[in-house]
Amino acid sequence: MYIFLIIWLLFVFAYVIFNVYGIYRIMAMRIKGDSVIFAVLVYLIVMFVIIAISIIIIANLDWGKNLKDVLRF
Amino acid sequence: MAEYHFPVPGAVDENKIVLFVHRHWASFLGQFFLSLVMLVAPGIIVLILFFSDIKIAEGFVTHFMVLGLSIYYLITITVAFLAWISYYYDIYIITEDAIIDISQQGFFGRKISQLSLLRVQDVTSNIVGFLPTFFGFGDVLVETAGEQSQNFLLKAVPNPQEVSAKIMELHNGLVETEGRHHQLLEAEGALAPGTIREGTHQVGDGHPMSETSPPVSQPAPPPPTNQPTFQQNIPSAPKEGEVSHDDLDKGGEIELK
């Protein structure tokens, strides 16, 4: 089951890198005085809330079981 | 007319800006509600499963569900944010002499197009549909003259009729100003009478020359010595191929020598 956890972590890692660079590009192309900074702040808060809730729930689940046992019906 | 006091890019002279048009907020309603449904619907489904007697969310299904929902929500908020960024940075700036179209495509794409108002030939405003009619927004199509015609579509702008009327008004004013400018130059003697309107420039000896003549910086062949040339009327005739200060004072309209 750890394999799914590793895949999820890899996804989150790539996602964070993509967003960090994307937000950096947006900030570089900003128009003076716009309200993008506020939108980016809200976006980052929502993103980290989702990741935090996911981590909290994931931490409370048992991931140690073998995948073969899970798929056995 | 709706007022737009949105700040402007540094490359645009703020004093020349006549209209700063942003896409109407109602044009974003569709994407907004779609994002809202995509965010809310899975949560409602999970709550129904949790409180019902259906035993789907048990065992390791919960594990997959947590990971899947986490990825789903992250992707959904990113898609929603990208849609908002694309909407927010879709800007049209109409200055005294040009239309600038700034179009944002997600994080990594921004297209800035510029069209001279002198090239404008037709302007069409278009309001189609319930929401555009109700909120008073629509498209403005700016068509240009010439063989390489370039059309500008100003999407979902508020009060499209007024925007199109303003563009035509600026275009007409610019054409009139340019015409007067040429009249002044003609009066000063910098231009031969009627040269611009006829689409041809005149050289000193009165022969018409097409607009595809070589640029000023290229040296022209020397005129025959027995014919009077325009250079003889200039007090300090420059060397061949040079641009004199007298020529520069004539508003950039330089005689070819």
Q: Give the separation between CA A65 and CA A60, rounded to whole angstroms.
A: 14
Across the interface, of B64, B70, B108, the residue whose CB is closest to A22 is B108
Q: How many whole angstroms separate alpha carbon B191 and alpha carbon B195?
A: 7
Kindly list the residues from chain B whose CB atom is less than 8 angstroms away from the CB atom of residue A12: 74
Architecture of domain B14-23+90-176: Roll (2.30)
- Span B203-230, mean pLDDT? 44
Lowest-pLDDT choice from A39-53, B133-147, B190-204: B190-204
Distance between start and end Cα atoms, chain A? 16
Q: Is A58 on the interface with B (CB under 8 A)?
A: yes
Q: List chain A domain ranges.
A: 2-71
Q: Which sequence spans correspond to the domains of chain B?
A: 14-23+90-176, 28-87, 202-257
Give residues with Cβ within 8 angstroms of B148, minimum separation 6: none
Q: Is the pLDDT of residue B229 over 70?
A: no
**Chain B contact for A13 (CB, 8 A cutoff):** no
Structure-block tokens of residue B194: 């009627």
Question: What is the Cα–Cα distance from B95 to B15, expressed in whole angstroms?
Answer: 9
Nearest beta carbon to residue B7 from set A8, A21, A31: A31
pLDDT the model gives residue A21 = 94
Q: Within an 8 Å CB–CB cutoff, is residue A65 touching chain B? A: yes
Cβ neighbours of A26 in B, within 8 Å: 85, 107
pLDDT at residue B135 is higher than 50: yes
Higher pLDDT, B94 or B16: B94
Q: What is the pLDDT of residues A21-65, one digit of tens each?
A: 999 988 888 877 788 899 999 999 999 999 999 999 999 888 877
Report chain B residues whose CB lies below 8 A from the CB of A43: 77, 81
Judging contacts by C-beta atoms under 8 Å, the chain B residues touching residue A63 are 63
How many other CB atoms sit within 10 Å of the CB of residue B31? 16
Residue B2 contacts residue B158 (beta carbons within 8 Å): yes
pLDDT band at B3 (very low <50, low <70, confident <90, very high): very low
Give buried/exposed letters for B226-241 (b at 16+ CB in 10 A, else e). Answer: eeebbeeeeeeeeeee
On the CB side of A19, CA atoms within 13 Å amount to 21
Residue of B nearest to A9 (CA): B67
Please give the mean pLDDT across all residues of chain B.
74
Given CB atoms, is A59 within the 8 Å cutoff of chain B?
no
C-alpha dist (Å) from residue B250 to B139, B217, B246, B255: 41, 17, 7, 10
pTM: 0.69
